[in-house]
Amino acid sequence: MTLRKRFQLYAPKAAQAGEPVGLVSDFQRFSIHDGPGIRTIVFLKGCPLRCQWCQNPEDMLPRPELLYIRNNCIGCGKCLETCPARCITADGPHGVAIDKAACRLPECGACQAVCYANAITICGRHLTVDEVLEEVELDREFYDRSGGGVTFSGGEPFAQPRFLLALARAAKARGLDTAVETSGYADWEVMLPVMAHLDTVLYDVKHMDPQAHRRLTGVDNARILDNLRRVDALGLPIRVRVPLVPGLNDGPENLRRTAAFAAELSHVAALDLLPYHRMGEPKWGQLEKDYPLRGVSPHAREEVVALAALLEGSPVRVTIGG
């Protein structure tokens, strides 16, 4: 998606006078699968996990990053002339190569400004709480009519705890419905204060087995499951979300264990099976990273239905797609 024009040109972080500033990668208006009603998602950049199937790989690192979309490049050469570090070179008739090691982001960003074709974009803007909420407020009428609101996602929103707290608090003060979409991998001390300002928690449970979880995401799941119990104890409505990745976490055993865990909790509104898709795959390439799941095909609908059927006896409502 594209940031609105006013945020489109990258500007290095301005000097701040105490006000919390967050690193936002994008907004997505008319989001209809991430919490109730019509919502705007605010993507906060930076995440401690390294999930192999990540569909927002541009949101992993907690700093602005260059993305290069070769298909958009028209070979105009403007970026080459502009780069103060001379780290961009021609690469083929219609392309460039960027030496990221030599690049002076986050201070620079000059190439993005002259790349009219949006072949070079910079993911990550430093925005204040008011700037974010001004954007969120644009769709207020839609939220009011559909029971929607704002969803803070990422990346891992709790990876910017101070900013997230300020955002959630200010959003609630403006009467917005708030949700967070989290991996649950954060210190409970930073999670707890935010909870008071949330209406819904969308909580990923990627694997029940600690080893497998570590292998697939780079981190252990003990803290995640502990935090989920704590969120539940607060009485907040939870949607447990399982990204259903073929061959990685879609075994019957894991799904049953996940459902059993969800069933032990008191405030799980639903367990959402999110069928794997590959729409984020191109972004791995734009970041010059290898996609670990290259060639993995999504489930057919019947397979997803069959997997959901495994959980039929569960007291928790199971949905496909959320």
Partner 1 sequence: MTSPAEQALLEKIDVLQLPGPTARVEAIRERFIAVVPEICVERAQLVTAAYKETEDQPVILRRARALEKILDNMTIFIQPDEIIVGNQCTKPRSAPVFPEFSCKWLEDELDRLEKRTGDVFLISEEKKAVLRELFPYWNGRTTNELATALMTPESKEAQRRGVFTVGNYYFNGVGHISVDYALVLEKGLSGVVAAAEAELAKLELTNPAHLAKHQFLTAVTAANKAVIRFAGRFSALAADMAATEADPGRKAELLEIARVCAKVPAEPAGSFAEALQSFWFIQLVLQIESNGHSISPMRFDQYLFPHLLADKAVTAEKAQELLDLLFIKFNEINKVRDEGSTKAFGGYPMFQNLIVGGVDREGEDATNPLSYMCLQATANTKLYQPSISIRVHSDTPRALYEKAAEVTRLGLGMPAYYNDRFIIPALLSRGLTREDARDYGIIGCVEPQVGGKTEGWHDAAFFNIAKVLELTINDGVDPLSGERLGPSTGELTTLATYDDLMAAYRKQMAHFVKLLVISDNAVDVAHGQRAPLPFLSSLVDDCIAKGLSLQQGGAHYNFTGPQGVGVANVADSLAALKKLVYEDKAVTLAEIKAALADDFAGVAGESLRQMLLNRAPKYGNDEPYADDIAHEAALAYCREVEKYTNPRGGGFQPGLYPVSANVPLGAVVGATPDGRKAGAPLADGVSPVSGMDHSGPTASVKSVTKLDHVIASNGTLLNMKFHPNALKDSQGISNLIAVTETLFNGGGTHIQYNVINKETLRDAQAHPENYRGLVVRVAGYSAFFTSLDQAIQEDIISRTEQMF
What residue ranges bind partner 1 (CB under 8 A)? 1-2, 4-6, 8, 28-34, 36-38, 55, 71, 74-78, 116-118, 138-139, 141-142, 145-148, 274-275, 277-282, 297-298, 300-301, 304, 320-322
Contact criterion met (CB below 8 Å) for 62 and 200: no
In the bound state, the residue with its beta carbon closest to ligand SF4 is 108
> 2 contacts which partner out of partner 1, ligand SF4, none, CB within 5 to 8 A by kind?
partner 1
- Helix (H) and strand (E) counts in the chain: 11, 13
Is-contact 213 221, C-beta < 8 A?
A: yes
What tokens does 98 get?
């960027």
Residue 85 binding result from ligand SF4, partner 1, none, given CB thresholds of 5 to 8 Å by partner type:
ligand SF4
Closer CB to ligand SF4, residue 120 or residue 198?
120
Binding of residue 74 to ligand SF4 (CB under 6 A)? yes
Tokens encoding 295: 């060639």
Task: Give the separation between CA 207 and CA 247, rounded to whole angstroms.
Answer: 12
Interface residue with ligand SF4, options 47, 49, 51, 98 (CB under 6 A): 98
d(CA 194, CA 94): 47
Nearer to partner 1, 146 or 314 (CB): 146
Q: Nearest distance from residue 281's CB to ligand SF4, in Å? A: 21
Contact segment (CB under 6 A) with ligand SF4 among 67-75, 143-151, 159-167, 195-203 equals: 67-75
Give the Cα separation of 26 and 10 in Å (integer): 12
Distance of closest approach, residue 58 Cβ to partner 1, in angstroms = 13
Rounded to whole angstroms, the Cα distance separating 23 from 316 reads 36
- 166 vs 273 by CB, closer to partner 1: 273
DSSP secondary structure letters along 50-76: --TT-S-GGGSSSS-EEEE-GGG----
Dist CA 63 CA 44 (whole Å): 11
Could you tell me which residues are beta bridge partners of residue 189? Answer: none
* Least distance to partner 1, CB of residue 211, Å: 26
Least CB distance to partner 1 at residue 193 (A): 27
**SS3 of 121, please?**
strand
Residues binding ligand SF4 (CB under 6 A): 73-79, 82-85, 87-88, 96, 98, 103-105, 108-111, 114-115, 117, 119-120
